[in-house]
Amino acid sequence: MPSSYSGNLLLELMADGENDGLWGDITNENLEILGRAISGVTTVTLAGTTHTLTVTQGTLSEGHFMVLELGGSPTGTNTITIDPNTVERLYLVKNGSGQDAVFTQGSGGNVTVPNGANAIIYCDGAGSGAKVTDFTSNLLRSSNNLSDLGDAATALTNLGLTATAAELNTLDGVTSTTGELNLLDGVTWTLTDYNSLTATAAELNVLDGVTWTLTDYNSLTATATELNVLDGITASTAELNKLDGLTATTTELNYVDGVTSAIQTQLDAKYEAATQSEATWEAGTSTTESLVSPAKVKAANTEFRDNNDIGWDQTWQDVSGVRSLNVSVQNTYGKPIMVYLQGSRANRVEVSTDDSTWVDFGRLGTPGAFSESVSFILPVGHYYIVRSASGSPSVWVELR
């Protein structure tokens, strides 16, 4: 009669007279399987999104271990199928794989062990309809337990507390020691007095470390309204002590009321705003009130003189040898020039702004008549021309 296998761990059950000479090896193998099932720990290396946890009959296998530490590098939620679907097994699972793990054995139901969580699960081995169940899902939700994960108010009641969560959170952030809090023991303020306070925990913590006794507190005559003057103050004790010995009056301190930055910085900014660049002065279009130095005034006057004053840094020059009749001349010297002409050649003098449209400016007599003269100032960029068919003027000079 051949060997058979147990229902849960698939241990090999040897028949009488079978496996002659192999009983010791098979028995040792069965004992190893029992050791794994009782307290064995293994790391299950996951990859991809599926993994098969196999319980092999009569042979050591991964599915025989009691404790499963999930690891590896799965690419997403990993479905772990317990095979075969006829074995009943109990597993302690620790999921450190980086992904959620779904244990399944059949269509009866699955268990998800989130990444970073632990669970005690078992499979019922019911074949195609097999179900995996989580023992730990309801362990902390029984009636009258010390906590209730689904209802904070019930949890507080189960702990014997009558304070609400909001009331307990009043202490959130308080850094006072038990000894410091005990200074309030025996304080005669009523609930109304305390509820009149608008100071936050952070503001009350300014008192952290104060050595006043109960007598000192009870000697206070200030009302809640008067104490609330401190409400919102963020200054430290050291900063408040800067007022110690202050002789300035309220009026004098109020001079800085509304100042939002360093006074010297503001004054410097006003000074900078009252000065202008050289280019701004040259443009001459800004209407911003400014401070003007004597040097800038002198520089501006000098520049105006150099660019506009007739005769300044100019000389009279005889141009009769370089100018020609009936040929226009443009002032390209950067400032106005003066032209002087004298003669009796019936010369006609014309001026123009564009070398196209001409205006008759004057005449220099007629041949044989008395000599006549014409003088004029020619702006920068303008033109003049001496027209004649009978000869050039006897004097032709320019101040430039």
pLDDT of amino acid 279: 78
Q: Cα–Cα distance between 146 and 140 in angstroms, integer?
A: 9
Spans of the chain below 50 pLDDT = 141-143
| Tokens standing for residue 187 | 């304080």
pLDDT of amino acid 184: 67
Q: What is the CATH number of the domain that holds 346?
A: 2.60.120
pLDDT of amino acid 10: 64
Residue 281 belongs to some domain of the structure: no
Residue 40 and residue 127 share a domain: yes
Residue 134 and residue 9 share a domain: yes
Residue 114 and residue 9 share a domain: yes
pLDDT of amino acid 142: 45
Residue 277 belongs to some domain of the structure: no
Residue 160 belongs to some domain of the structure: no
Residue 289 belongs to some domain of the structure: no
Which of 238, 273, 295 terminates a domain? The answer is: 238
Which of 112, 138, 164 terminates a domain? The answer is: 138
Residue 34 belongs to some domain of the structure: yes
Residue 185 and residue 128 share a domain: no
Tell me: the pLDDT tens digits for 141-200? 444 555 555 567 777 776 777 877 777 777 777 777 777 777 667 777 777 777 777 777
Residue 213 belongs to some domain of the structure: yes
pLDDT of amino acid 57: 80
- Please provide residue 235's backbone torsions phi and psi, each rounded to the nearest 5 degrees: -70, 145
Please report the sign of the dihedral spanned by the C-alpha atoms of residue 271, residue 273, residue 279, residue 284: negative
The pTM of the full predicted model, rounded to 2 decimals, is: 0.38
Residue 233 belongs to some domain of the structure: yes
pLDDT of amino acid 5: 67
Residue 293 belongs to some domain of the structure: no
Tell me: the pLDDT tens digits for 45-55? 999 999 999 99
The number of distinct structural domains making up the chain is 3
Residue 342 and residue 223 share a domain: no
Which of 219, 238, 257 terminates a domain? The answer is: 238
Note down the domain range covering 394: 316-399
